[in-house]
Structure 1
């Protein structure tokens, strides 16, 4: 068994330092899940409703109005968009590493505002906007940094850390809210908010141990620094010098033959196809219902008649988090395309089934129907966790060309969060009007996602970022990517990163030769 383990790519290519920086850099993703988790759970708390909601004399209960639910949830997405706008400039001019400090400052300021909002709902909203600005920055910088640090054979597993920690943060916050929901004092949910300060604490504490992205250093012409970083990160160090020179040649070749520097370049030539892929999967991730599950599942469970909707929410997020472990293998084994195709089919089935059960109303559902709906929502989140949770982030982070990678991720994350804004604002009203039938909308988008993956998204597993440049510029058809044999600089970089030298001794290149081929 140990011999077989040593043959696995994860064992061969990962090492303690790569794992450490992957975990530390993913703290921003954990903040995203954590804030979503506590907010979605708090909406169902009687103490939260009493503090910021209104009193219904007819029912004798406090409640959160659809307007406040909509505003509180939707403005978080607005904060993310602000962070996304800042991200390309911060990541390019300050570097990936310093971006983590900017992110930490935003999250700290936002959390302080949230915790001190003892009576003002609007102060709480402003705090969420600032926290989510840091999260928007994280949604760009974290996948960008991880894609540029990871060896190509395990890049899918490495980038899956983003979704893994998002799910972990969501589960941790919903669990904490549920465990403290019996408390009647004002710190019932504020303790959960304060836990988010752990994220900037980790970034600041580990800052000295986090290297700058080696590819960013190459893009900046800092080759000696890039070589030092790669020697500290990768297991196959005997070819690092040659690999850095190949990266330099590839950057020069791209600038000479395919120079691109602006957002407009993202929609020109072969870059348009890459942008459509990145933005498409991110948009469909939201359209299939993840915002509904994360933000409104407690309210939905209450509509179904569950007495302890918070506990059900913990079950949903806990199962979704647990299955994320599978993604460290699946995306590099079966590929991005097949995993997301299967995922879209499963997500469509679950959402449409819930819609079918609740189409005639949720007021008179039997216990078996309620339990069936809960089971299908748990399965939905599990399927999402191993497919569409990490998938869009993996694709968006690796599919852009080196010159435009920050901008491609910016457009992709903007597409995701711009899609989430109308969902977060409108869903409370739609859910109130049509109850369980709202899931038909999300299930329909999953059906559309199946066709999008089949006709548009190519397979990118196992290729270096530079090799993908060659493949897109060759204008391959979608289903030709997996069979394409690359012969350019990108293929040579892939072999070097895997510790393989070909018959021409690609590790012995003449770095002073002016011929870039």
Structure 2
């Protein structure tokens, strides 16, 4: 088993520097998950309800009005859209690395406003907008940075770090909310809010360890700097000079024959197909119900009659986080298409199952067995999401854009995701109040749509360099022929250079092992 692992791409292509920058750069994803998780959990905290809600004499308890739930959740998505608008300018003008500092500044100001909102709900909302502006920037720069730094054979595993840390953030926030549930003062929720500071402070403290993206440096003509960074990140430094020269030629070829610099260029020629794929997977990720799970699961569980909905929330997010360890293998083994299709099938089954189980009678009179069954299906939904669509939409969106337009393609993809989440977050409280458990029928139906979209539009991109993907999109290779297509351009030369070096290394290892056995 150990010998087999030593010949795997993860062992051959990763090194401690790549792992370190992957962990540090993915802090933004953890912040995104944490903020989603604390808000959904705080809506169920008694002190939060007393601070920003009103007493409901009919229910004889404190509650957050639907309009505040809607505004507080929806404006977070509006903040993300603002961050997405900032992202192409920050990442292209300042670079990928400095964009982490811009993101940290926005988050720190927003968190200060959130924690100091002693009585004003609207100050809390403004703080959420600023925090989410930083998160919106993170949703662009983190996947882009990871895709441009990672070797082709492990790009799926490397990009899966984004979703892994996002899920970790959700789990930690729900766990923090659960552990603070018995406090009787305002620190019950303030502790949860202040925990968000670990993201921007972590970036600032570890900033010196992050190099600039080598492909960004190539795009800007800084070839010697790019070469130094690539030598630091690569396990095959002797091939780097030739790789940089090939990248340089590829960039010049793109600029000469496929000049593209604006948002409008994302909707022209072969770039239109890339934009549809990147936006499609992001939109369908939201439409299948992740915002519902992350923001409204506690309220939903309370509707179903659970006495301890916060604990159930911890179970849901904990299981969702645990399965993310599988994603470091699945996307580079199963591939992108298979993972997304399998995920949509499972997610559709779970959401439709919850809808069917709660449609037989009044939500308030559900039996314990039906309640437990619904909880189990929601846990399974989030677990399936965790190793399929959670990382999958970010992997695909970060891979399909051409180098000239990668910032803008990710901007459009992120915008598609969060523009979709805005109506979901604003409307879901009202629809959920009216339909109860049957609201999950809507999300299950979108999973069926997602199956069809992936089958007809999303190509297989595993093991391909970003430059090979450029070539295949420009040659208009059919979706289902990507896997077996043979590239002959500069991208293929870059990949061949790495594969030749890997083959030579394997021969050397085999020869050494043979000598050891003979001795």
The TM-score normalised by the length of structure 2 is: 0.96
After TM superposition, the structure 1 = structure 2 runs for residues 166-315 of structure 1, keeping only pairs within 5 Å, are 166-315=166-315
Q: Are 2:236 and 2:501, in contact at CA under 8 Å, matched by a contact in 1?
A: no
Question: What is the Cα deviation at residue 24 of structure 1?
Answer: 0.4
Distance 1:475 1:59 in 2: 60
Q: CA deviation at 1:502?
A: 9.6
Q: Deviations over 1:112-132 (max 9, x none)?
A: 000011111000000000000
The aligned residue for residue 81 of structure 1 is 81
Structure 2: segments with no counterpart, 5+ residues: 505-519
Distance 1:7 1:339, change over 3 A: same
Query: Is the contact made by 1:495 and 1:501 (CA closer than 8 Å) also made in structure 2?
Result: no
Q: Deviations over 1:431-473 (max 9, x none)?
A: 0001011000000000000000111111001000000000011
Q: Structure 1 residues 501 and 128, CA, compared in 2 at 3 Å: closer, same or farther?
A: closer
Partner Cα distance (2:428, 2:345) in 1: 23
**Take 1:361 and 1:11, find their aligned partners in 2: how far apart are those partners?**
54
> Do 1:13 and 1:234's aligned partners in 2 also have CA atoms closer than 8 Å?
yes
Secondary structure in structure 2 of the residue aligned to 1:291? helix
SS of 1:483's partner is: coil
Separation in structure 2 between the aligned mates of residue 305 and residue 375 of structure 1, nearest angstrom: 15
Partners of 1:415 and 1:264 lie apart in 2 by 16
Normalised by the size of structure 1, how large is the TM-score? 0.96
Q: Deviating runs (4+, > 4 A) in structure 1?
A: none
**How far apart, CA to CA, are the structure 1 residues paired with 2:12 and 2:171?**
31
Q: CA deviation at 1:320?
A: 0.1
Within-5 A mapping of 1:47-196: 47-196=47-196
Tell me if structure 2 keeps the 8 A contact 1:298–1:313: yes
Q: Please give the alpha-carbon distance, in whole angstroms, between the structure 1 residues aligned to 2:57 and 2:328.
A: 52
Partner Cα distance (1:449, 1:298) in 2: 26
- SS in structure 1 of the partner of residue 55 of structure 2: strand
- Return the offset for 1:206: 1.1
Cα distance in structure 1, aligned partners of 2:498 and 2:35: 37
> Which residue does 1:363 correspond to in 2?
364
Q: Secondary structure at the match of 2:329?
A: helix
CA deviations on 1:137-158 (whole Å, 9 max, x unpaired) are: 0000000000000000000000
1:492 aligns with 2:496: no
Distance in 2 (alpha carbons) for counterparts of 1:501 and 1:387: 29
Counting matched residue pairs gives 503
Residue-by-residue CA offset, 1:134-192 (whole Å, 9 max, x unaligned): 00000000000000000000000000000000000000010011011000111101111
1:498 CA displacement: 4.1
Cα distance in structure 2, aligned partners of 1:132 and 1:315: 25
Report the CA distance between 1:202 and its aligned residue: 1.2
Report how far residue 477 of structure 1 moved.
0.9
1:419 maps to: 420
Q: Give, in angstroms, the shift of residue 496 of structure 1.
A: 2.5
Superposed, which structure 2 residues align to 1:319-468 within 5 Å?
319-359=319-359, 360-468=361-469
| Alpha carbons 1:361, 1:436 under 8 Å: kept | no
Equivalent pair of 1:153/1:463 in contact (CA under 8 Å): yes
- 3-state SS of paired residue (2:41): helix
Aligned to 1:25: 25
* Structure 1 SS opposite 2:181: coil
- Secondary structure, aligned partner of 1:418: helix
Query: Quick one: distance in 1 between partners of 2:171 and 2:94?
Result: 33
Corresponding residue SS for 2:188: coil
RMSD: 1.0
